[in-house]
Amino acid sequence: MWRETYAKIDLTCLAHNVRALKSCLAPNVKLMATVKANAYGHGAVAISLKVLEVGADQLAVATVEEAVQLRDAGITTDILVYGALPIEAADAVVSHHIMQTVFTLSDCFALSQAAKARGERCRVHVKIDTGMNRLGVKDDEEAVALFTMIHDDPWLDLVGAYTHFTSSDEPLCDLALSETERQRQRFIDMISLIKAKGIAIPVLHASSSAGLLRDARYHFDMVRPGISLYGYHPSPYFGQDVDLRPVLSLETHIVRLHSIAPGEAVSYGRTFIATKMERIATLPIGYADGVPRGLSNVGSVSIRGVKAPIVGRVCMDQMMVLVTDIPDVQVGDKALLYGGDVGSGFSLTDAAQQLDTITYELLCRISDRVKRVYSQ
């Protein structure tokens, strides 16, 4: 590794988080680990292997391509694709023994045809739209037709049905006023309608991290944590008693130190101009690596345990920080961008708050050219 810029992934923290989340569940409730988007930037294969080792029951991804990647890595456990089925991917779903989300008759027909051609059954989960208005079957009559088609098709296996909450991270309130409770009840009503037709649904699930931590009534038969696996609480309003540990830290090293005089500027656009002699450190990391340009002149890094403000605009491949007040700083010193405790100024949560975004986005921004280094 020539460029000393990397994301350190602590698999011990990941294992701790899986166990902490499982402790919130009844023994019969399964845990489906969400490892889409390269496991939120942590590395899908390594993360999948570890979560399965320490107690996750199944995996979930967003696309067929992501599922195939895991299969090609030798992972044989159940994998659900959350996203819509590209019809041309039906054969890949069947041949790689992937569980596919369906919500239209055409989805089911394509998978049935692909399964018949291979002489293998295809397992599906039906997505029910209870208010997200993104994917899923919403109308009762359409739902009955969809479930009936799957039930009657000799090449399809109905494995489960699920929904997704829009606001399960909202403050706890009167149950009757909760949008999450309204969605839960809508889900139950549609499932009851389907079961009344004599159709059995083996697994029901609805909760991502927030629903998991919110209340056991949202757990059903399985939960689908994502961000909490990686060490972040999905809501400030509840679940803080569950000890979650950030898995990733983003680090680089100083490659240049130099001084600038009053009146000299740093980086594009001259957005930082020195008013006195200053010491500047250049770091080999930029927005192509996933550091948001919005942190320009706002964010900071930690060098030798001391805050070093980002000065000037973050560039594509480099950024500059102010080290005037850091004694004995040297080329080669480590700079920590994300990985400190909340409130330290160096945590992912702190950066997300500065940028008015969420930790999920910042994790997913970290590009493939940042090497992932794993520790047990």
For residue 258, the cross-strand partners are 280
Parts of the chain belonging to CATH 2.40.37.10: 248-375
pTM: 0.95
Q: Give the start-end residues of each E strand in the chain.
A: 6-10, 30-34, 58-61, 79-81, 99-102, 122-127, 156-162, 203-207, 222-223, 248-253, 256-260, 265-266, 272-273, 278-283, 300-303, 306-311, 319-322, 334-338, 371-375
**Count of residues making up the chain:** 376
Give the mean pLDDT of 285-296: 97
Residue 277's pLDDT is what? 98
Average pLDDT rounded to a whole number, residues 313-325: 98
Q: Is residue 279 a contact partner of residue 322, using CB atoms and an 8 Å limit?
A: yes
Per-residue pLDDT tens for 351-371? Answer: 999 999 999 999 999 999 999
CATH class held by domain 248-375: mainly beta
CATH of the structural domain 11-230, one choice from 2.40.37.10, 3.20.20.10, 3.40.50.300, 1.10.3720.10 = 3.20.20.10
pLDDT exceeds cutoff 90 at 345: no
Write the CA distances from 54 to 22, 43, 125, integer angstroms: 10, 17, 25
Q: Count CB atoms within 10 A of the CB of residue 172.
A: 12
The separation between CA 28 and the C-alpha centre of its own chain, rounded to angstroms, equals 25
Q: How confident is the model at residue 340 (pLDDT cuts 50, 70, 90)?
A: confident
Band the pLDDT of 115: cuts 50, 70, 90.
very high
pLDDT at 343: 74
Position 131 pLDDT exceeds 60: yes
Catalytic residue among 116, 127, 162, 268: 268
Distance CA 99, CA 64 (A): 10
Q: Are 277 and 260 in contact (CB under 8 A)?
A: yes
pLDDT at residue 159 tops 60: yes
Residue 344: pLDDT band (50, 70, 90) is confident
30 a catalytic residue: no
The answer to whether the beta carbons of residues 110 and 85 sit under 8 Å apart is yes
Burial of 192 (0-12, 13-18, 19+ CB in 10 A): exposed
pLDDT in tens, 160-206: 999 999 999 998 876 656 899 999 999 999 999 999 999 999 999 99
d(CA 50, CA 59) in angstroms, rounded, equals 11
Nearest to 82 by CA among 162, 168, 183, 165: 162
**pLDDT score for 177:** 66
Residues of the chain with CATH 3.20.20.10: 11-230
**What is the pLDDT of the chain when averaged over all its residues?**
96
Q: Is 376 exposed, middle or buried (0-12, 13-18, 19+ CB in 10 A)?
A: exposed
Q: How is residue 317 annotated by DSSP?
A: S
pLDDT at 1 over 70: no
**CA distances, 104 to each of 135, 148, 180 (Å):** 10, 12, 25
Neighbours of 76 (CB within 10 A): 9
DSSP string, 97-164: T-EEEE-SHHHHHHHHHHHHHHT--EEEEEEB-SS--SSSB-SHHHHHHHHHHHHH-TTEEEEEEE--
pLDDT tier at 71 (50, 70, 90 boundaries)? very high
Single-letter code of the amino acid located at 326: I
pLDDT reading at 120 higher than 60 = yes
Q: pLDDT category, 81, cuts 50, 70, 90?
A: very high
- pLDDT tens digit sequence for 211-261: 999 999 999 999 999 999 999 999 999 999 999 999 999 999 999 999 999
Neighbours of 153 (CB within 10 A): 19
Catalytic residue among 6, 8, 30, 36: 36
CA atoms of 302 and 272, how far apart (whole Å)? 19
Which positions ≥6 away from 305 have C-beta within 8 Å? none
Q: Hey, is 341 helix, strand or coil? A: coil
CA dihedral 270, 258, 328, 330 (to 10 degrees): 110
Reported for 211-214, long-range contacts at CB under 8 A and 24+ positions apart, including other chains, are: 211/165, 211/168, 211/180, 212/21, 212/24, 212/25, 213/24, 213/238, 213/239, 213/242, 214/168, 214/172, 214/180, 214/238, 214/239
